[in-house]
Amino acid sequence: MPVRKKKPAPAALNADAPLYARILTELRQRITGGQYPIGGLLPTEAELSIEFSTSRHTVREALRRLIEQGYVRSRQGAGTAVISSESNARYVQSFQSISDLFQNSLETHFVIHKIEPVTLDSDIAARIEAKPDQKWRHITGVRWTKPGGTPICYIDSYVPNEYAAIVATFSQHDRRPFYSILEEQSGRTIDHVYQEIRAAQMPREVANSFGLEAGSLSLQLLRRYVTNNGTLIASFNWHRGDQFTYRMQIDRRMTQGE
């Protein structure tokens, strides 16, 4: 009887990413590569759990994200069917850790438009918890699903001027998130990531990146990466309000008897 070879686990794809994200990447590559053709079924949760040596909960999370991205459809009793070889869904983000943010950078494509010195105005300074009139580096660009794909968001990032030499190297690092480069090269450890979400009208430059008119509705995410020395980088992420969903899970934990 021939010995059935076990398919390689996705650990080699990116050891820093959470396991569900590595499974997601592997399954997506199999779909786009034709191993799982349109109209066909993915292996069952139980089969994938065995293949990747993990729990069904972890596999289920990877499958949930495949559904969100428009690759597959799941029906009770009918399995998980491949319906597209390309993502055609609304853009959905769901983060539980900094490693999820890292994985998002690896799976998308960011194009820097410009890097320039700026003096913070009072509004920006207040939002990123800096002092007005300070010198910072301002980085703008667009994150895409892939080269030549669909724009996901327009990004305004601000970095203290003391890290200007590091910022100048950003374009040399393929796909690595800015916070990771700064943390590594500055020797500063990020202790917290603060996020706020608000509705905002797009300025003209932001709207142009989506082919929309100035004043179009956006969902703006501000993330501040903070060390014991203050803000290491603050990034405003402008998303189309009609095509973006942000999802998070909040677990209730018992405070007694644990």
pLDDT on residue 179: 92
pLDDT at 252: 63
pLDDT score of 16: 57
Total domains present in the chain: 2
**Whether pTM exceeds 0.85:** no
Domain boundary among 20, 50, 82: 82
Q: Cα–Cα distance between 79 and 47 in angstroms, integer?
A: 12
- The encoded tokens of residue 94 equal 């769901």
Residue 145's pLDDT is what? 81
Does the residue 3 lie in any domain?
Answer: no
The domain containing residue 162 runs over which residues? 91-247
209 and 117 assigned to the same domain: yes
Q: Which stretches of the chain are assigned E, i.e. beta strand? A: 72-75, 79-82, 91-94, 109-119, 135-144, 151-160, 192-201, 217-227, 230-240, 244-247
Write the CATH number for 50: 1.10.10.10
pLDDT at 76: 76
Within a domain: 1: no
- 64 and 176 share one domain: no
- Res 96: pLDDT: 57
In a shared domain, residues 145 and 226: yes
pLDDT by residue for the chain (258 residues), tens digit each?
A: 444 434 444 444 455 568 888 899 999 999 989 999 988 999 999 999 999 999 999 999 899 888 877 788 887 778 898 888 776 545 555 555 566 666 666 678 899 999 999 999 999 999 999 998 899 999 999 998 878 778 889 999 999 999 999 999 999 886 789 999 999 999 999 999 999 999 999 999 999 998 889 999 999 999 999 999 999 999 999 999 887 777 666 666 544 444
- What is the C-alpha separation between 231 and 1, in angstroms, rounded? 61
Is 221 in contact with 248 (CB distance < 8 Å)?
Answer: no
Residue where a domain terminates, one of 82, 100, 131 = 82
Q: What is the pLDDT of residue 253?
A: 59
In-domain check, residue 100: yes
For residue 21, the model assigns a pLDDT of 85
Q: Are residues 98 and 178 in the same domain?
A: yes
Q: What is the CATH number of the domain that holds 143?
A: 3.40.1410.10
The CA distance from 129 to 222, in Å, is 12
